[in-house]
Structure 1
C-alpha cells in the first residue's frame, strides 16, 4: 500500500511531525512514534542525527548532538525500527537526514534496510538533483522509497516543475529563508505571494509547508496554502528536560490538532 498517497487522499490538513531518532533518550524513537500517531500526527519524519546538519537550526542541531552522544547511528536506528510497523501500522514514515552518512552506510543497503522496516520515503536536502535522477532514483524505486524534495521562495519555476515530475510523494515548501526553527517571516506579503505562486502552478504533487511553524495558529495558516504542515523544532523543544517524552509529544500534537 502507498501509505503516503493514501494519507493525502483520505485526510485534510495533515500534520507531519519531525523528531530526531535517539532524542531525548536513545530508546525513545519507537515510543515517540507511537505517541505522536496516537495523538493525531498524520505523517512521521524521523531525523537521522548528523554532526553537520546544514538545513537545521540550533534546536534540531542540539537534538542531533544529544542523540549522537546517546549512541544513535544508522545500525542502531534500523535495529530499533524493526518494530516500526507494529507500533504505527498505517502512518507514512519518512527518514530525514544528509547524504554523507547514507553514502558511508551504502546507498543500496540503506534503501534495502529502510524498506525492510517499513519506511515509505526519504528527505535528503543535500542530495543533488542530477545525481538523484542519474544514479539514485532507480535504487529508490527498486525498494519502493519515495523521494521528497524541498522548494524555497528562490527556487525557479523550471526547477519546481522538474522536482514535481521527479517526486512520487509530496513537495516540501520551505516557508522562507533560513534554517529550521526560524521565526515566522516578517515579510508576510512576500510569503503570501510565494504560496499563491506555487498554488497557481497546479503541480501534480500535494504540498506541505515547513520551517518556522511552531503552534496551532501557524499550522492553521499553513493549511490555508497547502495540504498540511511540518513541525519539528517546536516539538523537539517540547521534549527537552521532560520526565515522559512520549506523553509530552502527545500533548504537543493534541495542542496543534485540537478543533
Structure 2
C-alpha cells in the first residue's frame, strides 16, 4: 500500500517534533451547509487530522454531546452518501489534510461494503474508525478497507491488556487511538500519569503513532496529552460548541462555526506549545 495522507501527516508532525490535533465533528451537524463550512476551515484553525462522524441513530460508545450531534444531523436529512459528498466538496480545496470517517458498522453494512469502500476512496477518505467491529471480524471490513488503500484505525482502552493488545494491533494502520477512560465520550478525563503510562505500554507493542482521546476539553488538557502522545483527539467539546448555537426548534446560528473554530484555535495553540 502506498503511503497515505495519515501516515504522511504523522511523519511531518514527528519531523517537526510536535504533537498533533485531531478534531472530531459529526457530518451534517448542525446542518449540511454549516457543517461543510466548518469542515473546510478546520485545517486553517489548526486541525492536523479530521475525524468526521457518520451520523447513526444508536451511537452506543458516545456520550450525550455526540449523540445529540448525530440526532441533529439525521433530523436534517444527513445520510452516509451525503457524508461522502461532504468529503468530496472538502477535497476540492484541500488535498493534504487527512480525513477519517468514524462511527458504527450498521450504516456501512446497509450501504454495502464494496460500494462504500469504492465511494469513500473516490471521495478522498483516508481512514476508518468503526468502533463496534472487533478484530475477530476483520474480514468483514478491515481487510477489504486495507486492500482499498484506506487506513483502519483501531481503538485501545484501559482494559486492553497485554494478552489482548497484539490482536487489537494486528491489522491496525495509520495510528492507534487510545481511549483514555473506560466509558462513553465526553464524560470525564483521565489522569496525566495514567495516560503517560498507557502510551508507553502501547509504544512497546507498536511503532504506530498513538493518539489519545475521550475527555479532552481545554487547551491545557490537549497540551498535556501532546507531551506524551503523538496527538490529542477532541470531539465532544467541539460538538457541544456547535450544539450551543442550535435553538429548541433545531435552527442553527452561523455563530456555531465561528465559536467552534475559536475553540479549535485554542486547542491547536495548546498542542503546539506542549513540547516547547
1:113 counterpart residue number: 119
Pair 1:137–1:183, CA change in 2 (3 A): closer
Alpha-carbon distance in structure 2 between the residues aligned to 1:5 and 1:188: 26
1:239 counterpart residue number: 242
Does 2:60 match 1:54?
yes
Q: Secondary structure at the match of 2:177?
A: strand
Does 2:184 match 1:179?
yes
1:194 counterpart residue number: 198
Does 2:7 match 1:5?
yes
Q: Is the 8 A contact 2:199 2:210 kept in 1?
A: no
Deviates more, 1:114-123 or 1:242-251: 242-251
Q: Deviations over 1:96-139 (max 9, x none)?
A: 0101111011011111111001000000000121111x343332
Alpha-carbon distance in structure 2 between the residues aligned to 1:35 and 1:79: 17
Q: Secondary structure at the match of 1:27?
A: helix
Does 2:40 match 1:34?
yes
Q: Is the 8 A contact 2:154 2:172 kept in 1?
A: yes
1:148 counterpart residue number: 153
Structure 1 residues 132-147: aligned runs within 5 Å? 132=138, 134-147=139-152
1:253 counterpart residue number: 264
Q: Secondary structure at the match of 1:182?
A: coil
Per the normalisation by structure 2, the TM-score is 0.87
1:217 counterpart residue number: 220
Per the normalisation by structure 1, the TM-score is 0.93
Alpha-carbon distance in structure 1 between the residues aligned to 2:259 and 2:95: 22
Unaligned runs of 5+ in 1: none
Pair 1:189–1:15, CA change in 2 (3 A): closer
Pair 1:197–1:128, CA change in 2 (3 A): closer
Measure how far apart 1:245 and its partner are. Answer: 3.0
Q: Is the 8 A contact 2:34 2:254 kept in 1?
A: no
Pair 1:139–1:188, CA change in 2 (3 A): closer
1:102 counterpart residue number: 108
Across the two proteins, how many residue pairs are aligned to each other?
A: 256
Alpha-carbon distance in structure 1 between the residues aligned to 2:197 and 2:11: 26
Measure how far apart 1:147 and its partner are. Answer: 0.5
Alpha-carbon distance in structure 2 between the residues aligned to 1:235 and 1:257: 13
Measure how far apart 1:86 and its partner are. Answer: 1.4
Q: Is the 8 A contact 1:49 1:64 kept in 2?
A: yes
Unaligned runs of 5+ in 2: 246-252
Q: Secondary structure at the match of 2:78?
A: coil
Q: Is the 8 A contact 2:5 2:126 kept in 1?
A: yes
Pair 1:213–1:142, CA change in 2 (3 A): same
